[in-house]
Amino acid sequence: MIHIYKNIYKQLNKKINKKLLYALISVEQPSNKPNSLVFSIDDGYNTPSVENAELYDPEIQSEMNVIITVLNRIFDEDNNDYYIGNTNTSYINLNKVNAVLNNINKHTIYFTRKNYGKSAISSFINNKRNMKRKTRRHYK
């Protein structure tokens, strides 16, 4: 899922429903541009029923608009100045765009990691077991 997290409200309202802090981004592929993606705010552009929303929503919305504009420019195949697919060193595999889009747009529920609290790179943590393995030497 692609989202924007509006953390200003978490700082102001300690007992806020966490789901109200997310703005979900929808991703679509235009039918006339097979190598392009179009991003838009699908849900969460406004923050209803949150204290101080009328004060902060316009600023947050302008920031979200900038993010969406940048994403749309770099993924628009007609934009010669910003499109990331123009170079030979592109990191985007455009052949897999449809699979990515189908997966992204199916998830409208907020997910959390199942292994929350565990390091994603646990093999690099210097615990006693790993240190023994690294320092053990074998002599003949």
The pLDDT of 65-73, averaged and rounded, is 94
Share of the chain above pLDDT 70, in %: 60
Q: Does residue 125 form part of some domain?
A: yes
Interatomic CA distance for residues 17 and 50, integer angstroms: 9
Q: Does residue 18 form part of some domain?
A: yes
Q: Does residue 65 form part of some domain?
A: yes
Banded pLDDT at 140 (limits 50, 70, 90): very low
Whether residue 54 is predicted with pLDDT greater than 70 in this model: the reply is yes
**Host domain of residue 95:** 3-135
Contact 28, 91 (CB under 8 A): no
Q: Does residue 43 form part of some domain?
A: yes
Q: Does residue 58 form part of some domain?
A: yes
Q: Does residue 44 form part of some domain?
A: yes
The pLDDT of 41-49, averaged and rounded, is 89
Q: Does residue 112 form part of some domain?
A: yes
pLDDT tens for each residue of 88-138: 544 555 555 566 566 666 655 555 556 555 555 555 455 555 455 544 555
In 2-140, which residue ranges form alpha helices assigned H by DSSP? 8-12, 53-74, 97-106, 128-135
User: What is the number of structural domains in the chain?
Assistant: 1
Q: Does residue 140 form part of some domain?
A: no
Whether the pTM exceeds 0.75: the reply is: no
Q: Rounded to 5, what percent of the chain is helix, strand, coil?
A: 40, 10, 45
